Amino acid sequence: MTQPVTDGRYDTVADFLDAANNELRNPKNREVRDLFLHTQYRGGWYGAGCGNGDDVQKLLRDGWTEGRQRVDAFMAKLGDVEAMPLDIRRRITRCDFGDHLDIGDVYAGRMATAWTRARRKSAQGPKHVDLLANMICAAGDSAEVLFWRGAAAVALCDKLEAAGYMVRLVVGFGGPHPGGEEVSCRVTIKDHGLPMDIATASAVIMPGFFRAIGHGWIAGHAKYKDPKRGIHVRSCVREEGEIYLSHEVTDERTARRWVEGQIETVNKPAEAA
């Protein structure tokens, strides 16, 4: 059963691939869908050494080892960028003896609470973080733009989980369709508390994820006849509270800057606690 092209949601990469290959809302779109998923040759446009959609799907299923190695090298350069662990945050407590004396409490006779002390306390369970990476860009953009956007998402996810957060990573694409529908598709790469293996990580860093499979999914789920050109660049449906990654990342420099900025934002409440 096809999902609506206006709000497609998949719990795993495998579910998304199955839907892209096997669900067809409008039979007239079969040729266009198969063009993106299998036969169209666009050397360099799909990235990862892929020439067509079949190459992209193989790497998505098997894992893009070279891409993961590039992400690991990027992560190594971020060694000094760390999220503050959840279980060692300092919290101020009042007591009868400590580090700082509140003279107002002394004059008021409240000696039992006149002192304050910063104690390390465990957080109330791991905090959930939701991250959405918008994996769509203009047709003329280099495939490297999408690689670095995905690399930034994977790096932030890794940093936050190392600090004790439970991260859900979703990739998406969306925008106005030439046939008149507003496209939106969200694919969960990893859910809270689950690991990210090399195969699923490949989906978020592979340019062909949208350029081949995404276009194929749109053709298969669009109500109207889908032309060979793609949708306008926008975003999928966003959920409240998600950290959103999009066009601010285009290369390694901006990927690092984005990860650093997100970690700094996460650490500020910890430093103030």
Confidence of residue 122 (pLDDT cuts 50, 70, 90): very low
Rounded-to-integer distance, Cα 35 and Cα 265, Å: 43
Within this chain, do residues 94 and 227 fall inside the same structural domain, yes or no?
Answer: no
What DSSP assignment string belongs to 30-65?
HHHHHIIIII---TTTS-TT--SHHHHHHHHHH--H
Within this chain, do residues 178 and 102 fall inside the same structural domain, yes or no?
Answer: no
Within this chain, do residues 183 and 95 fall inside the same structural domain, yes or no?
Answer: no
188-246 residue pLDDT tens: 999 998 988 766 788 899 999 999 999 999 999 999 888 877 889 999 999 999 999 99
CA distances from 221 to 1, 4, 54, 127, 179 (A): 10, 7, 19, 36, 12
Q: 3 in a domain, yes or no?
A: no
Within this chain, do residues 219 and 193 fall inside the same structural domain, yes or no?
Answer: yes
Q: Closest Cα to residue 217, out of 184, 250, 245?
A: 184
- The pair phi, psi for residue 83, each rounded to 5°, is -80, 140
Q: Closest Cα to residue 166, out of 191, 134, 200?
A: 191
Within this chain, do residues 174 and 267 fall inside the same structural domain, yes or no?
Answer: yes
| Token code pair at residue 235 | 């975003």
The parent domain of residue 176 ranges over 8-82+125-272
pTM of the model: 0.84
Within this chain, do residues 258 and 151 fall inside the same structural domain, yes or no?
Answer: yes
* pLDDT score at 1: 75
- The pair phi, psi for residue 216, each rounded to 5°, is -65, -40
Within this chain, do residues 253 and 226 fall inside the same structural domain, yes or no?
Answer: yes
Within this chain, do residues 141 and 107 fall inside the same structural domain, yes or no?
Answer: no
Domain boundary among 120, 142, 172: 120
Within this chain, do residues 145 and 210 fall inside the same structural domain, yes or no?
Answer: yes
* Residue 93 reports pLDDT greater than 70: no
Task: Write a three-state SS string for 144-186.
Answer: HHHHHHHHHHHHHHHHHHHCCCEEEEEEEEEEECCCCCEEEEE
Contact 92, 116 (CB under 8 A): yes
Q: 239 in a domain, yes or no?
A: yes
The β-bridge partners of 251 are: none
Within this chain, do residues 159 and 221 fall inside the same structural domain, yes or no?
Answer: yes
The bridge status of strand 100-101 relative to strand 243-245 is unpaired
Within this chain, do residues 160 and 116 fall inside the same structural domain, yes or no?
Answer: no
Question: How many Cβ atoms from other residues are within 10 Å of residue 83's Cβ?
Answer: 21
Within this chain, do residues 48 and 134 fall inside the same structural domain, yes or no?
Answer: yes
23-70 residue pLDDT tens: 999 999 999 999 999 999 998 999 999 999 999 999 988 889 999 999
Q: 206 in a domain, yes or no?
A: yes
149-183 residue pLDDT tens: 999 999 999 999 999 999 999 999 999 988 889 99
Domain tally, the chain:
2
